[in-house]
Amino acid sequence: MDSLDELRAREYARLDQSGEIYLDYTGGSLYAASQLRRHFEELNGHVFGNPHSNNPTSQAMTDRVEATRAHVLRHFNASPDDYLLVFTPNASGALHEIGEAYPFAPGARYLLTFDNHNSVNGIREFARAKGAEVTYSPLTRPDLRVDRAALTAELSRPGSAGGLFAFPAQSNFSGVQHPLELIEEAQAAGWDVLLDAAAFVPTNPLDLSRWKPDLTVLSFYKMFGYPTGIGALLMRRAMFEKFRRPWFAGGTIQIATVQGNSFYRSRDASAFEDGTVDYLSIPAVDYGLSYLESIGIERIRDRVGALTAWLLETMTSLKHENGRPLVTVHGPTTREARGATIAFNLLDAEGRGFDIRGVEARANEARLSLRTGCFCNPGAGETAYGLSAEQIGGFFHDPDGMTFDELRGKIRVRYGLEVGAIRVSTGIASNFADVHVFASFLQRFLNRAATESEFAAPPCDARRPTREGA
């Protein structure tokens, strides 16, 4: 079996050829050269048609789509007797399906942890529109883990009618891995459970025969880079019967009538696949899964775990001449129960924060890909910076809205707080050379003042508002 360094040289040669240091795997993984080659060879050697027909080319594509669907279920050890696999545009598309179809109603609840992606947060708008109660369960500081006592109290609150409980297997902000035992605890208390696995499954095994969330969402590009535009909703069959979609579309029904003013929905996963799936890209999912399986997800997990442990130890050891730390890590500073995502800020010798956009600009010059912002996870960020509901809520009364950088500026002026983080994450193609280069980059900030003009925040261009991504 090839070592991961050999795979790096063969499958990801473009990294070293271009001089790129890629540390944004939580934003999106990188594809292997062999994935592209296998997919393009298949497309070049066959004729595939829209699967919504029985002609030869359509049937060939139907068989290919269904074979990939079965492969995804096998990869996560999900029995087809228990789970349906719905292809979606991405994890956010899967979450939209859930919010739209979940039977929220007065007396029901939507309970979620502070640590959640905005696409999970967004389901609250469906819940509120249908009269359900929305509740957030807090995190503890400084590790940004779920407050288990507070969550248990919410799950078992007397008089609660239950509902939907949502949490991430791994935080896309801090890398914290929340205990999967929460699934069983919530289900025992009468809740349906939504697990956001998007940041977890690229480097960790998820066994759905052991852990049985009612709903699981993910994006394949985060696992193996290519294709983009395809995600998955793994839905237990009991949820299929419970869901009520407010509309139907081509491909989601058995039959519809205009004059009879009625329809019958499909009885399988296609009931949630609006229109035509991205059928020419779906075989690439098959190849991506096969590639991961040929390496072994445990090998990837161990590799990125070792890189992350080295990075955390190195980052927390960096100190200015006066002994003050250069780096503040948001979340755990050890490898225990955490993934390969590190959110942090840089402080000068007086404890003032270097502007995150200035740090990003310096990283860009060094061809080092990292990410800055709140990473579509405001709850974890607000907890990390100690912002209260009163403090943050006071800024959300402007009918014209604001960008993230404008909000950062308002908080800086009013409360003297620097918010927004820098994030690095390792993945399948990362090696020790990458993290060594990054550590050397951080050393450039030692014993420098955060007030120097070269690190000033760039002016905000209202015509090009900053969008906070994954």
Q: Which two tokens stand for residue 243?
A: 């869901």
Helix locations, 28-103, DSSP H:
33-45, 56-75, 91-101
Residue 390, pLDDT score: 85
CATH topology of domain 33-294: Aspartate Aminotransferase; domain 2 (3.40.640)
For residue 171, give every residue at least 6 positions away whose Cβ sits within 8 Å of its Cβ, in sequence order, or none.
115, 144, 177, 178, 199, 331, 339, 341, 377, 380
What are the φ/ψ torsions at residue 411 (nearest 5 degrees)? -65, -40
Buried b (16+ CB within 10 A) or exposed e, 403-417: bbbbbbeebbeeeee
What is the distance between the alpha carbons of residues 400 and 58, in angstroms, rounded to a whole number?
48
376 catalytic residue (yes or no): yes
SS3 of 219, please? strand
pLDDT 10s digits, 127-144: 999 999 999 999 999 999
For the chain, the domains span 4-30+296-455, 33-294
**Amino acid found at 60:** A
User: Can you spell out the DSSP letters for 98-165?
Assistant: HHHHS---TT-EEEEESS--HHHHTHHHHHHHTT-EEEEE-EETTTTEE-HHHHHHHHT-TT---EEE
Q: Which two tokens stand for residue 198?
A: 């998007």
4-30+296-455: CATH, from 3.40.50.300, 3.30.200.20, 3.90.1720.10, 3.90.1150.10: 3.90.1150.10
Q: Considering 359, 376, 424, 428, which one is annotated as catalytic?
A: 376
pLDDT 10s digits, 60-108: 999 999 999 999 999 999 999 999 999 999 999 999 999 999 999 999 9
Residue 114 pLDDT level (bands cut at 50, 70, 90): very high
For 158, counting Cβ atoms within 10 Å of its Cβ (0-12 exposed, 13-18 middle, 19+ buried), the class is exposed
Residue 452, pLDDT score: 55
pLDDT 10s digits, 291-311: 999 999 999 999 999 999 999
Residue 181 pLDDT level (bands cut at 50, 70, 90): very high
What is the distance between the alpha carbons of residues 261 and 214, in angstroms, rounded to a whole number?
32
pLDDT 10s digits, 141-179: 999 999 999 999 999 988 776 899 999 999 999 999 999
Residue 204 pLDDT level (bands cut at 50, 70, 90): very high
What is the distance between the alpha carbons of residues 57 and 64, in angstroms, rounded to a whole number?
11
Q: With beta carbons less than 8 A apart as the criterion, state whether 318 and 310 touch.
A: no
pTM for the structure as a whole: 0.94
pLDDT 10s digits, 31-56: 999 999 999 999 999 999 999 899 99
